[in-house]
Structure 1
Amino acid sequence: MRIIDLPIEIIELLETLNSPLILKRHLTIVHATAFNLLARLKDEWPVINLKNELILFGAATHDIGKIKITNELFAAGKKHELAGMEILINQGYKKEKSRFAQTHGDWKVENREIEDLLVSLSDNIWKGKRIDDLEEMIILKLSAILESDYWEVYEKFDIILSEIATGADKRLNWQGQ
C-alpha cells in the first residue's frame, strides 16, 4: 500500500492548529489506507456507491482532537473524540463531516453508517489489526448495498483486508519517524 499525502485543506488545517508531527503522520496513514480501501472496493464492485469524500475526510481528521487532548497521543483514551468534533465544528465544518472524530472509536453503536465503519476500519487495518465484529458489520452492510450474498462479499472483502494489512510493520515505522 502506498502512502499518499493528505489533501491540502487538511494539511493547512493541521498547520493552523499546530498539530504534532506524529499526529500528522498517523492521519496521513489512515487517510491513505481509506483511499486504498475505497479503490479496492470499487475495483471489486464497480457498482458500489459510497460517500468517498466523507470517508476520506473522516480518515484524515478522525484523531484531530488529540491536538487538544495531548496525553492521548501516546495513551489510549476517548476524550479526544468529542474534542475533535468540537474542533472541526469550530473550524466551520458541518456535523456531517465532523462526526467522524467522535464516531471512529465507537463503531459498536447500532445503526452506524457504513462510512463511519470504514473510517474505524481504516484506523485499525493500517497497522494490521483485524476486528471480526467490525468487519462483520461492514460485510453485512456491503451485502445489502450490493444486493449480494454475504459469503461472496465476505470472501472478497477478507482478501482485500489481508492485502491491505500486509506491510503494517513498515507503516508503523514510518509513523514513528
Structure 2
Amino acid sequence: MTSIRSDALSRALDGPAEPSLRPLPPVVAELLRSLGAPARLAAHLRAVHDVAGELCDWVESRYPGLAVDRDAVLFGAATHDVGKTLHPEELSGPGSAHEAAGRVLLLERGFAPGLARFAATHAAWDGPDVTVEDLLVSTADKVWKDKRVPDLEDRLVRALAASTGREPWEEYLALDDLLARLGADAARRLAFQGSFPLGR
C-alpha cells in the first residue's frame, strides 16, 4: 500500500499532466515526500504553482520595472497549503487551521520567515503589509480553478497601476484578459487534481 501511495505522490509531483504543468521545485517536492503528503494535495500545489508561474511570466513581460521576487512567489504557491498535511480534513472541507500550521511547519523545517509567510497569508490579502508577491500567490490560488475575487483583483490592479503610472482601468483590462485565459484550463486542472486520492 505504501508503494501505491508513494507512486501516486510521485505522479502528482512531477508526472505527465493535462494540461501540461511544470513540476514543483525540488526542495518543495522533497518536503512533501518527507511529510508523506497526500497525492491530491501535491497535485493541487502543482496546479497553483503552475498558474503562479504564468502570472510571474506576465508580470515580468508587462511590468519590467516592477521588482517582484519570482522565486518567492513560486515557492509560496508551491507550499501555500502545506499545513493541510497536519489538517487533512481541510483537503475536502472548509477550514483555516492549515494556514498558521503551515507557516509554523515551514519555519520548523528551516525555511525563512519571508517564504513561510505565504502559508499563512494566501487567504488574507487585505492587510496593510501585503506585498505584490502575496497578491500573486493569492490570485494563483483562486484562478487555477477559475474563481474570480473582485476585491483581490482590485488590490492587485492598484499595485500594478502604481508601478506604471497607467490608469487602473487599463491594468484591469489587461489582468482580466490574462485571468480569463488562465481560467480556461480550470476544468482540466481540477480533473488532474481529482484523479489523485485524498488520503496518504
TM-score, length basis structure 2: 0.85
Match of 2:85 among 67, 73, 79: 67
Equivalent position SS for 2:182: helix
Contact 2:47 2:144 in 1 (8 A): yes
| Rg comparison, structure with higher value | 2
Percent identity between the aligned chains?
37
Check if 1:113 corresponds to 2:131. Answer: yes
Q: Give ranges in structure 1 of 5+ residues lacking alignment.
A: none
Unaligned runs of 5+ in 2: 1-18, 196-200
Look up the match of 1:32. Answer: 50
Per the TM alignment, residue 151 of structure 1 is displaced from its structure 2 partner at its CA by 1.4
* Equivalent residue number for residue 4 of structure 2: none
Amino acid at match of 2:80: H
Matched, 1:173 2:194: no
Contact 2:82 2:119 in 1 (8 A): yes
**How far apart, CA to CA, are the structure 1 residues paired with 2:96 and 2:75?**
20
Cα displacement (A) at 1:145: 1.7
Offset of 1:142 from its aligned partner? 0.8
Q: Please state if 1:147 is matched with 2:151.
A: no
Separation in 2, partners of 1:146, 1:53: 22
1:110 Cα shift? 3.1
* Match status 1:163 vs 2:163: no
CA distance in 1, matches of 2:101, 2:63: 36
Structure having greater relative contact order (Cα 8 Å, sep ≥ 6): 2
Map residues 6-25 of structure 1 onto 2, 5 A cutoff: 6-25=24-43
Q: How far apart are residue 83 of structure 1 and its match?
A: 0.4
Q: Please report the TM-score for the alignment, with normalisation by the length of structure 1.
A: 0.96
Match of 2:73 among 44, 55, 65: 55
Deviation, structure 1 residue 60 = 0.3
> Is the 2:65–2:163 contact (alpha carbons within 8 Å) kept by the matching residues of 1?
no
